[in-house]
Chains A and B, each alone.
Chain A
Amino acid sequence: MSTAKLMMKQVTQTYGDGDGAMTVLNQLDLTVNEGEFVAVLGPSGSGKSTFLSAAGALLTPTSGEIFIDGEPLSHKDKSELTELRLRKIGFMFQSAQLLPYLKVEEQLLYVAKLAKLSTKEAKERSSYLLKRLEIWERRNHYPEKLSGGQKQRVAIARAWMNKPAILFADEPTASLDFSRGREVVRMIADEVTSEGKAAVMVTHDERMLEWCNRVYHLQDGVLVEQ
């Protein structure tokens, strides 16, 4: 078996100290393997954001160890984590969060440029992704001219651009209506299968779980499988 794309071991995150300490993640364990699409559910305030930040190498947890594509995150400094996020992790944010001043294709070329991909390679990859996600015709539009669903599709393409090991999606359907939301989740699932990667989606919408391999509830700082 190949290495797990994401492995979280005994991850604990507490805020504050002494009596006022609040444990958000409590010795949380999670393994996501290649080809798996995992959903994490939880009401707001349950620590979903903290969970995603820790898994996504944005936050160093109080204790515990996290491996992305077999690489341990502890003992990495800030710039090493930045580099790791660039190459191993794809992010999808709430309401897409595209850069308003980049055209659709440039959104993808930008991350390729950061990863120092050659221009030719970047162009090929971006046209491949944009065509697959059916927004190739809109490649020269600014995000302000796109619908919410189209924006999220660009966000999916951007997240997969650098062929990351794993994709983290933070409420990708929050700003979409039901059918568009389902469409976006289906596309994430499709990409996971076709690219042979993994994805973790954090959501509070229980109707979006059709294509997920596993579904967890975040309760009292641990993940409970449904």
Chain B
Amino acid sequence: MFLALREMRHSKARYSLIIVIMLLVSFLVLFVTGLARGLAYANISAVENMPANYYAVQKDADHAFRRSQLSAAELSAARSIAGEQNAASLAVQMSTITADQADAKADVTFFAVDMNGMLAPKVTQGTGITNETQGSVVADSKLEESGVTIGSTIKDQASGLTFKVAGFVDDNSYSHTPVVYINTLDWKAMRQGFGQSGKDAEAVPYNVIALKISSAQVSDITEKLGNVEVITQKQAIASIPGYSAEQNSLLMMIVFLFVIAAFVLAVFFYVITIQKTSQFGILKAMGTKMSYLAWSVVGQVLILSVASLAVSLLLTFGMNMGLPDSMPFQLEGQTILLTCMLFVGMSLLGSLISVARVARVDALEAIGRAGA
């Protein structure tokens, strides 16, 4: 590192420039990653926060919750394998509500769940509801932004039913809409509201069954239930409308940024290395080992990428504090660590081209050469 550090000390401008470029790229990487995570979370937090690890959906539903229809018979069959508490029915209904006091309309997703089961919402404000209450709901706190408060009355436009908001839960979104939890009683009422007879509503009560099971039980359930497919939480999230499209385009940006970072650094260092070819020849003639020179190049890249990452992490956190709440941004320690490691890894990969170039420099070039 003797050479690496002193060279950076001497050519401050040159290396500062590289740091600035790296800084901008790594900042963009972190920021877009944070946005992608934030957007994902804002999109599907309701499903991500469910304690279930598998979901049983109808076989021909293409993993999509709303296309799937399961009956009470299938729920009890699933429960017989997974256990009473580890299988819970979930019905999903997207709709639009109007709030009386607030004079506002909002798109929401109704989740009809068993209030004693594992999917029961964890109320953070107000009170919860039980399986017996009628006409009361627990809503995602995002609805507050539309002017809905505890005690407000909301009206489901499709069925014409009105509900009183009893409590709020945090971080419960589905397909970017706030989730409104209702119990099975109200669910049946809502189905009848759509003009189905009571009997039909009884027969088609649920969309999917959320399961908390081991992977060994997956095949048991698939076998026993016949027309269902058991998918993982990840698969379920990926099939939520809009999720994959959103995440894939952001992912593509991130991947490109990584590649750009690696290339910028690689090209910069390659050019610098070519400029220094005769110096490397001299160094080798004087008896510098190749490993020392390689470490010198890699060390410089390491210092530059870590330094720029450190600054861009600060920038990212600073930016995050200044962001409005409506802009979803989420960066967990694990994601940061992974992103940083990838970034440094890509930078080192880019530096290998320069190392290869240095390895090809012959000490012979030092002899018979005029000029520096």
Contacts and interface: CB of A to CB of B under 8 A. Distances in A.
Contacts of B372: 95-97, 100
A110 B288 CA distance: 10
Contacts of B3: 99, 101-102, 110
Interface string B285-298: 11111101000000
A69 interface: no
By secondary structure, the A interface counts as mixed
Contact of A95 (B6, B284, B292, B371): B371
Interface string A156-182: 001000000000001100110000000
Interface string B208-224: 00000000000000000
Contacts of B7: 101
Given A86-B287, A93-B282, A110-B2, A101 B364 contact: no
B278 interface: yes
Nearest to B362: A58
Contacts of B286: 85-86, 91, 111, 114, 158
A48 B369 CA distance: 12
A34 interface: no
Interface stretch (A49-57, A191-199, A205-213): A49-57
By secondary structure, the B interface counts as helix
Interface residues of A, number: 37
A91 B285 contact: yes
A132 interface: no
B10 A56 contact: no
A94 interface: yes
Given A58-B363, A82-B287, A114-B292, A94 B11 contact: no
B333 interface: no
B367 A114 contact: no
Interface in A90-117: 91, 93-97, 99-102, 106, 110-111, 113-115
B6 A114 contact: no
B226 interface: no
Please list the 5 inter-chain residue pairs (A to B) with the smallest Cβ-Cβ separation, ordered nearest first.
A86-B287, A101-B10, A49-B368, A85-B287, A101-B7
24 contacts: A49-B367, A49-B368, A52-B367, A52-B368, A53-B367, A56-B285, A56-B367, A58-B364, A58-B366, A79-B290, A85-B363, A86-B287, A91-B285, A93-B285, A93-B366, A94-B369, A97-B366, A97-B372, A100-B279, A100-B372, A101-B6, A114-B288, A114-B292, A171-B370
